[in-house]
Structure 1
Amino acid sequence: MIKIRWSNPDENERVVEIWRAAVDATHDFLSPQDRHEIEEMVRDFLPQAPLWIAVNADDYPLAFMLIDNGHMEALFVDPACRGTGIGAALVRHGLSLHPEMTTDVNEQNGQAIGFYKKMGFRSTGRSPLDGQGRPYPLMHLKYGK
């Protein structure tokens, strides 16, 4: 059984661990230098972020989501739990709070694009660079019609 709750400060290392494992499993398009620099930013940022955490029956974090003003900034699932519905449960939780939620996804991450489209998101545009100005194009998505 999966429960969704707010994160706790003592889970910071686990959250970064989930992020690292998920990125390594799905973001093979990142250069090693960019991957390293992004992890440094994540290590500084995630511990202060208000995260929704999906936990198992033992209250062990398996995935997390960050939403800011109706925009899903992050959704990362431990690769060992992919395909089990945890990511979908987090997205449904986010949509219950923000019915017109938006998100951005790397164009090179075809699995994520397929996941979001299956969840009911549609493309609203594209940016040639990511949020830090790196050459990783983003698709902009919005839930609903």
Structure 2
Amino acid sequence: MIRAFTATDTDAVMQAWHKASALAHPFLSNDLIAKADALIRNTFLPMAETAVLEQDGQVMGFIALLGHQVGGLFLDPAYHGRGLGKALMDHAAQSHPVLELEVFRDNTIGRRFYATYGFEELEEKIDGFSGLPVLHLRYAQD
């Protein structure tokens, strides 16, 4: 079931983020992960329109939107390959016919997912937070 995020989901969402990020972002330093954790937990989650995917009361993943910008899509790796990430993206696309996001250039897992979903690359730039290259992607429904 996909439902709206509540503050009581914060720890479960962050746990899913840590597990997925460890898999998709092995190139990030522990210091950067700690800084990102605080920023996501204290700033982005409270301001984003976030939906969680849960089963039997357990949060498995989430998608966070800032308008039509996907700020984050993370799924606990134990649930990868089941169409659940697509379900979260479909949920976002229902209310936003155009979606944009940035993904680390070295995140091959995320890049593969977004390409399969239909996102197209607009540009490559340097992320101001991490100093690493990111790709700006866009999805527009037909």
Please say whether Structure 1 and Structure 2 have the same fold, judged by a TM-score greater than 0.5.
yes
Distance apart, 1:47 and its partner CA: 4.7
Which consecutive unaligned segments of at least 5 residues does structure 2 have? none
Q: In the comparison of the two structures, how many residue pairs are matched?
A: 140
Q: Aligned pair in 2 of structure 1 residues 137, 102: CA closer, same or farther (>3 Å)?
A: same
**Is structure 2 residue 138 aligned with structure 1 residue 139?**
no
Q: What is the 5 A alignment of 1:1-145?
A: 3-48=1-46, 49-56=48-55, 58-127=56-125, 129-132=126-129, 134-144=130-140
SS at match of 2:124: strand
SS at match of 1:101: strand
Distance apart, 1:23 and its partner CA: 0.8
Which consecutive unaligned segments of at least 5 residues does structure 1 have? none
Overall identity of the aligned pairs, in %: 27
Segment of structure 1 superposing worse, 85-94 or 35-44 = 35-44
The AA in structure 1 aligned to 2:67 is N
TM-score, reference length from structure 2: 0.91
Distance apart, 1:46 and its partner CA: 4.8
Question: Hey, what's the Cα distance between the residues in 1 that align with 2:44 and 2:131?
Answer: 23
Higher strand share: 2
- 2:70 touches 2:99 (CA, 8 Å); kept in 1? yes
Cα RMSD for the two superposed structures: 1.5
